[in-house]
Amino acid sequence: MHLEVTSHALVGTGDAVRRAAGRLDALGLPAWAPDCGDLAAEDAVRALLDVSAESLADLARELRSVAVLVDVAAADFARAEARLSGGTST
């Protein structure tokens, strides 16, 4: 019997998703607005940076929740592995 994907690989996937979330957190979006000589333009730059920062924080949180789902999937798959290899399902 040959398994293309193992539950161990799935655990690694969960970690990879967490690393991706960490990379989003550590992205270092610029937090300064240039001197545009125009107040409205500087406000617009700050607003865009704020929106992007909030969006990236949301996405990092989403990725962490995906990692939890992957962990659950890994547990599911470990049970399937045990069943296919003749072991007992837990």
Partner 1 sequence: MTVGTVVGSPVDESVLDVALPRGEPAQALRLAGELSDTADRLLAVAQGAARLLPVAGWSGIAAAAADRRLLEVAAAVGAERSRLQHAAEALRGFGHALGTAVDRVAEARALLATARRVQDEADARDRALSVGLASGQWAGPRADGRFTDPDAVLLLARARDLARAARAVADRAAARLVEALTALSGRRVLRDGGSWRPLLDVAGLVPGYGDALDLGSAAVYGARGDWWDAAVSGAAAVPGPIGWLAGATRAGRAVDHVGEVARVVDDSPRGRAVTAFASVPTIGRRKHVRLLADDAAVDRFWWDVLAPLGALVARDETCQAHDHERRERRAGAHDHEELTRPDVYCGDCEHRRRRQRRSRQNREPLAGQPLLGIRVRLRQLDHRRMQGRRPPEDGRDDEEEVDRVADLVPAVE
Task: Report the candidate in 25, 22, 8 with the shortest Cα–Cα distance to residue 70.
Answer: 8
Residue 52 near partner 1 by CB under 8 A: yes
Q: Out of 8, 11, 18, 76, which residue is the one contacting partner 1 (CB under 8 A)?
A: 76
Distance CA 52, CA 29 (A): 8
Distance CA 54, CA 29 (A): 11
CB of 70 within 8 A of CB of 19? no
Show contacts with partner 1 in window 18-47 (CB under 8 A). Answer: 20, 23-24, 27-30, 32-41, 43-47
Binding site for partner 1 (CB under 8 A): 1-5, 10, 13, 16-17, 20, 23-24, 27-30, 32-41, 43-48, 50-52, 54-56, 58-59, 61-63, 65-66, 69-70, 72-73, 75-77, 80, 84
